[in-house]
Amino acid sequence: MRASFDLSLYLVLDPVQCGGHDAALTVARAALEGGVTLVQLRAPEWHKRAWFELSRALLPITRAHGVPFVINDHVDVALAVGADGVHIGQRDLPADAARRLLGPDALIGLSVSNLAETEDAARLAGIVDYLGAGPVYATPTKTDASAPCGIDGLATIVAAAHLPTVAIGGIQAHNAADVMRAKPAGLAVVSAICKAANPRDAAAALRATIAHAQI
Amino acid sequence: MRASFDLSLYLVLDPVQCGGHDAALTVARAALEGGVTLVQLRAPEWHKRAWFELSRALLPITRAHGVPFVINDHVDVALAVGADGVHIGQRDLPADAARRLLGPDALIGLSVSNLAETEDAARLAGIVDYLGAGPVYATPTKTDASAPCGIDGLATIVAAAHLPTVAIGGIQAHNAADVMRAKPAGLAVVSAICKAANPRDAAAALRATIAHAQI
C-alpha cells in the first residue's frame, strides 16, 4: 500500500494515441507540467519490449515531478523497470498475486464497472490501494470495456466503495464537471490529454475543473 | 539456468486450439503420457486471469511427469504460479530482465528466426538456456511470426547456435523426420498435438520419429 497518492487528475498514457514512443514522452512531460497527479502506461497494441523501453524513459520524468507511475496489467514490466505499481482489471492477474509479486509498498489499482465488482473489491482492502470505476461513458479507446455506468452508476459505485475511486471512460473537458458531481476522488483521462493539441493546457484546465468540484 | 532439460518433444499448448481450459488439461495429460518432454503455455488471445488459472491447474500435472512447464512471454504469470520458466520472443521483455525476475534456476528460452538473432543470442549464454528456432514452415498458428527459415535455414541456425535449439513452426507428423535432418535438439509442435484426434498417440509417434533421428 502506498503511503499517499493523489487521484485528482490521472493520466492513462496511450502511446499509440500520442503518436509513438517519443511523442508519448513529450505528452507525459507536458501533462505533468499541467498538473497530472498520476500516470499509467497502457499500450494494448504494443509488445512488452516497447512497454519496457517507454517505461524506463518515463520513470525519471514522473519521479522528477514526484508523481507515481503505474503499469496497466503487466506486473512483469512494472517489476523489470521499478515502476511504482500497476493497475489491473478484472481479467488480469488476481490482485493478491500482484501484491505478492510487487511487495507491500507498491501502488495497486483495480478496475470495477458495477456494484457487484465494487462490493467484491471490499475484500481486497489491504491489497488494493484504489479503484478505477467506469467506463462512465462509452469510449472507442477501450474496445473490450464493460457497458457504461453513467453518472448515476458512478455515484453508486463511489458511495459503495471502501477505497478511493477514480472515474474513467469517455471523460473530456466538456463533461468533467458533470462527472465530478458523482464525487469520485478524481478523473482519469486518455484522449483528453493524449490527443490534445496542447497537453499541458488540457491538463491544467482539467485540473482546475476538478479542483473547483473538490471544494 | 536449469541443471537439465530435454527439448526432444516440446509441446506448445494452445488452449484455444485444444478447445478451452478443461480440454487443454486433457490434452496436456495425454501428451505427457505420450512422451512430451517440455510444456509451454501460449494463449495469445487470453487475458492473464485465464493464463493464471490454467497454469495453476497444469503445474501439478507437469510436475507429476517430471517435465518442465514454461510460460510464453508473461514472466508475471510464471512468477505468480511458480512455473519452471518462460519462453520469450525478440519483442518480449529482454532476456536479462526476465532472468533477474525469475532467478538463477529458471528455465528461459528465446525465439530466434534468423542467423543475426542467433548470433546476438550468443551474448546471452548464462542468461538463456535454449533457443527456439523458426518458423521452419509457414504456419497459421502464429500470425505475427517471421518469414519461414526452411530446413536449410534451420540447419544454419542450429550450427551457429551456442545453445541447445528446438525447431518450431509448422511441424507435423509428416515432416518431423525432415526437420530432424537439420539436427535440432528436438521439435516443438502446436496443432500436431493440440488438434490431434488422439494427443497421446500423436505425441508417442512424434517421439518415436525424433528418437530414431537422434540415434
Tell me how far apart the alpha carbons of residues B109 and B87 are, in angstroms, rounded to a whole number.
Answer: 4
A52 touches chain B (CB under 8 A): yes
SS3 B168: strand
Contact indicator for B192, B14 with CB cutoff of 8 Å: no
C-beta atoms surrounding A103 within 10 Å: 9
Which residue from A47, A73, A92 is facing B92, i.e. has the nearest CB?
A: A47
Q: How far apart are the first and last CA of chain B?
A: 27
Is residue A143's pLDDT more than 70?
no
Average pLDDT of the residues in B153-168: 97
Report the pLDDT value the prediction gives residue B1, as an integer from 0 to 100: 85
Query: Which tens digits make up the pLDDT trace of B86-95?
Result: 999 999 999 9
Tell me how far apart the alpha carbons of residues A96 and B81 are, in angstroms, rounded to a whole number.
Answer: 12
Can you read off the three cell numbers belonging to residue B153? Answer: 535455414
B117 touches chain A (CB under 8 A): no
Contacts of A16 (CB under 8 A, 6+ apart): A43, A45, A46
Query: Which tens digits make up the pLDDT trace of B94-113?
Result: 999 999 999 999 999 999 99
- This complex has an ipTM of 0.96
**Interchain pair B91, A52: CB under 8 A:** no
DSSP conformation class of A141: S
Contact indicator for B211, B38 with CB cutoff of 8 Å: no
B61 touches chain A (CB under 8 A): no
Hey, where are the domains in chain B? 9-214
Q: Phi first, then psi: what are they for A166, rounded to 5°? A: -105, 135
> DSSP labels for A13-81?
E-HHHHTSHHHHHHHHHHHHHHT--EEEE--TTS-HHHHHHHHHHHHHHHHHTT--EEEES-HHHHHHH
Tell me how far apart the alpha carbons of residues A96 and A110 are, in angstroms, rounded to a whole number.
Answer: 11
Confidence of residue B125 (pLDDT cuts 50, 70, 90): confident
Tell me how far apart the alpha carbons of residues B28 and B6 are, in angstroms, rounded to a whole number.
Answer: 17
Is residue B84's pLDDT more than 80?
yes
A 89-108 → B contacts, CB under 8 A: 89-94, 97-98, 100-101
**Interchain pair A49, B79: CB under 8 A:** no
Query: Which tens digits make up the pLDDT trace of A32-91?
Result: 999 999 999 999 999 999 999 999 999 999 999 999 999 999 999 999 999 999 999 999
Q: Look up cell 509479486; give the residue.
A: A101
Fold of B9-214: TIM Barrel (3.20.20)
Residues of A marked as catalytic: 42, 111, 142
